[in-house]
Amino acid sequence: MDRVEPDIKTGTTTEPGLLVAVPFYRRPDLVAPCIEALARSANDFTALGAEILLYNDSPDDPALAAELEARSARLRSLVPFRIETNPANLGFVRTMNQAIRRAVERRSDLLMINSDALLEPGAVAEMHRVSRLDPMIGFVNPRSDNATLATLPVFARLVEGEREERLAAAAAFAVRLPELRFVPTAVGFCMLVRWHILAEFGGFDEIYGQGYNEENDLVMRAGRCGYRAVLANRAFASHAAEASFGVASISRAKWEKRNRALLDARYPEYAPYVASWSDAPETLAERLLAALVPDAHGKRAVAFDFSSFRADHNGTFRAGAQLLAAAMRRWGARYDVSVITNEDVYRFHDYAALGVPRVDPHEDRVFAAIFRVGQPYDWPAIQRLIARGAVIGMSMLDTISVDCPQLFSPRLYNMWQFAIDHLDLLVTQSRQTDAAFRARFRVPPAARTIISPHSRDLADYAPPASAAEADGSILVIGNHFSHKYLRPTAESLAAAFPDRTVVAFGASAPGSSYPRLRWIEGGQCSEAAIADLYAAAAVVIFPSHAEGFGFPVLHALAARKPVFARDLPAFEELRGSLGDNPNLHFFSTTVELVGRLRDLPSWIPFPSRDTGSDALRAADDILRGLEASFEHVEYERIVARIRAMQFASDISAPAPAVPAGSPPAAEAAHFLAESVERAARRILSWPAAYQVTRFGFRTIRRITGSRRPS
């Protein structure tokens, strides 16, 4: 065999000691910092009864030998220590196998450290402690600044600054993490291996030559019996990477390709096992937590999620632009603010004029916080929030989509409840909206909730100047959704006032039989065209049966037009905040509205409340909510919501397609399986059918004595 064979000795249960092995090849400049780092950890080594063994794998390099001897005096005075010089260059694998044999003979755990890895004080003690937390832990790595899966993601943000400052920031970050994390493999730069693993499974297989993937082979060998690799999150060792063997005569690319093929052939489970690490909830949670660390300029990155916005106009999109403009004024000094949206929407709404950069919805960038304007109507919107924001907030505008039967679906309801379950900040725009959501959904205690209306300052809604002349028309505002009640209202008014122009703004109605009823689609109308409609109108009607805020009321009052709105709680709130503006009139039914419009009211001059832009207050409300959430971010909560999101995505994913060219029988079977699954889902969505099926299944299990696997 090419590898160190197991050598099991029994009859004692004493706690294993610790052997520390550090190989050196060329690079005498690495000796001083490495030995100094070992000396700083002398108390850890002494407490663990450790012996340090330095290997000189360059016997033909007098400079290396001289440096090792010169620097060793400091270490000898602190901890048992020796230098061994190989008779010839053996390479990393064979050199470390010497240490593995010695560790097995001594019944000692083995800590292998590359010469370019620098231990921080306390790291060895913490790695040793973590190795005893679970009997199936066989391999332990510290965290690092440059060691593949052991790397703390916070170092991507700590590229500047003094070493001590960076280490302090990394330590503060690591405290947010649990004491250990199970990972698919270990990294050889600084690896603690339990004695019984080496005694049972042997050391490195020397078929891997000069190195690369030899540690993965050992981890997988033991892993097939259930032994695990872990990261000790509170231990740290910096790593230069490739410096220790960077002068080797071998080609890394050559050995890496050859050895990886060998590893994959032996362990076909290795590639998918390790690949699962990158998408694991714990990996994503660490990336998100790292986004909370300010960059070199003291800023965190936050984003507004407008990924569901379209290139047209409506109240939600105007509210988003208003909030974005206010946030750029209010948040820009302390935060890097971005907007997540596609390029067409970015151009249409001219967000560039606000100075805010665009982030594509499909980019993989993460943020300290993402705030979404408007409830989600598609699952990718929720996935995006959870996967990319350490803190996630959302403004829920209204409940109409779950209140109207023609709009309702169980999937939508469940999606909203899922989003609310995992939000850090839930913002509603009125007391009415807040009460409506609490009546229909469970709001968890972990979610911070605030009621923050959009701006109520009429100056924030002032229309552009218009040259249109007043024509006495009645302007009715709405859209094609039934609850907006645009068509019934417009046609009732057209029938009641045949001599007056009625403009129905927000939808089209082909086949309308009223000659003076004009229908205008709203989405593509420019601000100037909308201003002309308001300027021409004698009165504005907002007939919606359900609203959470009521932008048309503010637009009408800002245009100095009397406005009639249905008597709704949200409008009562709005009137109170406007100082009981006499130009806001209420009605309860369309018949009542028609009667009151027989004598059109005139505009009554009324002083508006000048708050210096109430949109800034709204932006401040949200920022306070996000910053309060920053103080209570929990790793476990982030992991839990990522895992829940991934699980929901997995179970809702369609069945894999049959590969092209499959036999007809396979294609037919796949089609039949999909058809049966669709039918079963529909049937089991009925509560009675589900209960009957569940009872039958349990009965069969009792009769057959079958049980779920444990």
Residue 513 lies in a domain: yes
Confidence class for position 315, pLDDT limits 50, 70, 90: confident
**One domain, residues 585 and 628:** no
Confidence class for position 452, pLDDT limits 50, 70, 90: very high
Confidence class for position 240, pLDDT limits 50, 70, 90: confident
CA atoms within 13 A on the CB side of 431: 8
Least confident of 61-65, 504-508, 633-637, 695-699: 695-699
**One domain, residues 136 and 262:** yes
Residue 394 phi/psi, 5° resolution? -155, 140
Q: In angstroms, rounded to a whole number, what is the distance separating the alpha carbons of residues 637 and 702?
A: 38
Residue type, 635: Y
Could you say which DSSP state residue 435 is in?
H
393 sits in which H/E element: strand 389-396
What's the pLDDT tens digit per position in 678-698?
555 455 445 455 455 655 655
What's the pLDDT tens digit per position in 247-265?
454 567 777 889 999 999 9
Q: In angstroms, rounded to a whole number, what is the distance separating the alpha carbons of residues 710 and 236?
A: 38
**One domain, residues 631 and 683:** no
CA dist 527 → 49, 144, 609, 614 (Å): 78, 55, 24, 21
Decide: 124 and 52 in contact? Cβ < 8 Å: no
Confidence class for position 710, pLDDT limits 50, 70, 90: very low
Residue 650 lies in a domain: no
**One domain, residues 329 and 234:** no
Is residue 497 pLDDT above 70, yes or no? yes
* Boundary-marking domain end, from 243, 278, 313: 278
- Supply the pTM of this predicted model: 0.84
| Per-residue model confidence (pLDDT) at position 667 | 47
Decide: 286 and 152 in contact? Cβ < 8 Å: yes
Is residue 157 pLDDT above 90, yes or no? no
Q: What angle do CA 549, 552, 555 make, to 5 degrees?
A: 115
Q: In angstroms, rounded to a whole number, what is the distance separating the alpha carbons of residues 293 and 157?
A: 7
Percent of the chain with pLDDT over 70: 87
**One domain, residues 608 and 624:** no
Is residue 611 pLDDT above 60, yes or no? no
Residue type, 621: D
CATH number for position 485 = 3.40.50.2000
| Per-residue model confidence (pLDDT) at position 707 | 42
| Per-residue model confidence (pLDDT) at position 708 | 40
Q: If you average pLDDT over every residue of the chain, what do you get?
A: 88
Is residue 657 pLDDT above 80, yes or no? no
Least confident of 256-270, 278-292, 410-424, 647-661: 647-661
Q: In angstroms, rounded to a whole number, what is the distance separating the alpha carbons of residues 707 and 626?
A: 47
Domain limits at 513?
A: 466-612
Assign 166 to helix, strand or coil.
helix
User: 10 Å Cβ neighbour count for 423?
Assistant: 25
**One domain, residues 139 and 52:** yes
Mean pLDDT for the stretch of residues 523-530: 86
Is residue 245 pLDDT above 60, yes or no? no
- How many domains does the structure of the chain reveal? 4
Residue 290 lies in a domain: no
More confident residue, 122 or 159: 122
Q: In angstroms, rounded to a whole number, what is the distance separating the alpha carbons of residues 429 and 434?
A: 7
